[in-house]
Amino acid sequence: MAFEDLLSDPVIQKYLHELVGPKGMPVAAAPPDGEVTDEELAEELDLELNDVRRALFILYENDLASYRRLRDEDSGWLTYLWTFEYDKIPENLEEEMYRLLDALQQREEYERNHEFYLCEICSLRFEFGEAMDFGFECPECGSPLESMENSMLVESMEDRIDDLEDELNVETLGA
């Protein structure tokens, strides 16, 4: 799979940006063909060597880069030759979507199964038990806590869960 094709996809660009951050994005967005050293990348991209190394290590941790070590026989120094392996990005994105689905399902269940109270002054939210412990008064400002309706939030989460399940071709238990 060509790097250029992958890197033109805005979803993949966002994924890489989330992984390596703004300082590492030039490294992630310009993968060379073949092997390259961190020093070569830093010089070519006019970046600090530490920023390049950080980005390479993050890519390595996410199975998007690999390296091999060479020892200079004269000095004993190690040289790391890096190779980018972006063909794993679609698989990584799918795993990320499954993690998001799981987190959303847990949060939706939590929201659906709890009653909440809100301080409209401080915008602090409390579960029923916490609100009861505070005498239904905000511990910050003393204002009365109001019952909070979260059905729109739960409905929005359910819609997003349905969208993710459709995208991932996941069968729901209720279906």
Please name the amino acid found at residue 59.
L
Cβ proximity of 42 and 52 under 8 Å: yes
Q: What DSSP state is assigned to residue 133? A: H
pLDDT at 5: 67
Q: Are strands 116-119 and 124-127 parallel, antiparallel or unpaired?
A: antiparallel
Between 19 and 171, name the one with better pLDDT.
19
Instruction: For residues 94 and 92, give the distance between their C-alpha atoms in angstroms, rounded to a whole number.
Output: 5
Record the pTM. 0.68
Under DSSP, the state recorded for 12 is H
Q: pLDDT by residue (tens digit) across 73-117?
A: 889 899 999 999 888 888 888 998 999 999 999 999 999 999 999
Indicate the residue type of 121.
I
The sheet carrying 116-119 orders its strands as 124-127, 116-119, 146-148
Residue 28's Cα: distance from chain center in Å?
A: 16
CA distance 157 to 151: 10
Neighbouring-strand partners of residue 67: 82
**pLDDT digits over 109-161, tens only?**
999 999 999 999 999 999 999 999 999 999 999 999 999 999 999 999 999 99
Rg (CA), the chain: 24
Closest to 17 measured CA to CA, from 48, 5, 87, 9: 9
Neighbours of 63 (CB within 10 A): 12
Q: At what angle do helices 151-168 and 89-112 cross, to 10 degrees?
A: 150
In order of their start, the domains of the chain are 1-84 (1.10.10.10), 90-168 (no CATH)
**The two structure tokens encoding residue 102:** 């799981």
Residue 105, CA distances (Å) to 99, 102, 148, 166 in order: 10, 5, 21, 14
